[in-house]
Amino acid sequence: MPASARRQIRFNAFDMNCVGHQSPGLWRHPQDRSARYTDLDYWTDLAQTLEKGLFDGLFIADVLGTYDVYGASNEATLRQGTQVPVNDPLLTVSAMAHVTEHLGFGVTAGTAYEHPYPFARRLATLDHLTRGRVGWNVVTGYLPSAARNMGQEDQLEHDERYNHADEYLEVVYKLLEGSWEDDAVVRDPETGVFTDPAKVHPIRHEGKYFTVPGIAITEPSPQRTPVIYQAGASPRGVAFAAENAEAVFVSAHSKAKLKATVQRIRDAVEAAGRGRYDVKIYTLLTVITDATAEAAAAKHEEYQRYASTEGALALLSGWMGIDLSEFDLDAPIGDVQSNAIQSAVANFQTGDDGAAPWTVRDIAAAAGIGGLGPRLVGSGAEVAEELIRWVEDTDVDGFNLAYAITPGTFEDIVEFVVPELQKRGAYRTAYEPGTLRHKLFGAGDKLPATHRGARFRLAEVAR
């Protein structure tokens, strides 16, 4: 394919307000700075690095509990620094937005433990302060420890969590799309009227889980509803994404599995009355690169020496809802049921492209650096060529890039991979103007008419 006709690859950086994120043990590497996650300078410096590399955004994961499935205890998690201690992801965004102009911010927040009324205000506030560069990664939760600490015996059953999330989003849409008219705020010093009361409307929501009779208490922000991100790849998760998501994060260790997942999501989006490409799909991947293939391989070998098997198994047990300490390391996980992340289990129940099933030892080694996605190791040119092949072979839009060390992994991608992609016409050379939604789709700042959230606009409700 000629360079001029190539599809533009998109990058998100994947991080978390904690130590190590998805590379347990790598915090010990002398060049890793993730232990500085409590320092605002860490976040502002990272944001500026990503903007230099023309990334779509920084996607900040989150959990509200500890990983205590492995060994029926959180001891391994605490010992290895496996996503604990962990801080609130939303509180980093304003500072990062202040030192950047274009970078987007996808913040993770769950629907299980915070009421949608105050949360809608937090979203609108961030959208104002970032000038429309924020997105919300909607998660339904998967850690029983979080449920217990919020006064519940356990989390809701997997599919029921999505039913609850459907109503949660309905409330958020009603507040952000259907309460204040565009011109409700008049700011008229002559009449002394700041907001026209006739143009602010109660949402009168009464549902199974929530009752919200009144008005939103924030004026419309640049995007009104921030860009909706979602990461569920189970059948119920895909159905949820088809109606709500504008960006979907997936993971697969082979092109064949990724292609099937991408097609399933695009088919579902189309069946929901939207365009097949109304959703950007990013797949999880870790890149380890340098000026030469030899240098990249040496770097990868060095990183592997710091990876923690115990930390990886603690993470995996939480993601899968299965205590991997009870398995033989050289045995496959077999046919087990999960009330956690069902796609995480499915990824490891069969081998890639006909290979033997994954053993627990295989899973720990694969997930020890970068989590559930594959790893690409090579020179900038080699990685660029392989990324292009992944996009061409699977129809994915881009990559959610995990790190081995931070900010080093991202600095290497910006230095070695981005210029090679640009040479091949597969990566932008400048940002588009406008909000995050407009940068992603080029169709304006607000939700498109085909999106579920648009049904709750005042004009639609009045019909």
**Binding site residue list:** 62, 108, 158, 162, 234
* Whether 457 contacts 177, CB under 8 Å: yes
Residue whose structure tokens are 């360079």:
3
Helix (H, G, I), strand (E, B) or coil at 123: helix
Closest CA relative to residue 233, chosen from 373, 59, 24, 437: 373
Binding residues for FMN: 62, 108, 158, 162, 234
Integer Cα distance of 143 and 192 in angstroms: 51
CA count, 13 A, side-chain hemisphere, 255: 11
**320 Cα distance to chain centroid:** 18
* Whether 253 contacts 374, CB under 8 Å: yes
Environment class of 281 (CB within 10 Å of its CB; exposed 0-12, middle 13-18, buried 19+): buried
Closest CA relative to residue 424, chosen from 394, 392, 376: 392
Residue whose structure tokens are 């020890």:
368
Measured from the Cβ of residue 172, the count of other Cβ atoms closer than 10 Å reads 26
Tokens of 332: 């496959």
Tokens of 242: 């088809």
Q: In 99-157, which residue ranges form alpha helices assigned H by DSSP? A: 116-129, 144-149
* Whether 219 contacts 235, CB under 8 Å: no
* Whether 394 contacts 258, CB under 8 Å: yes
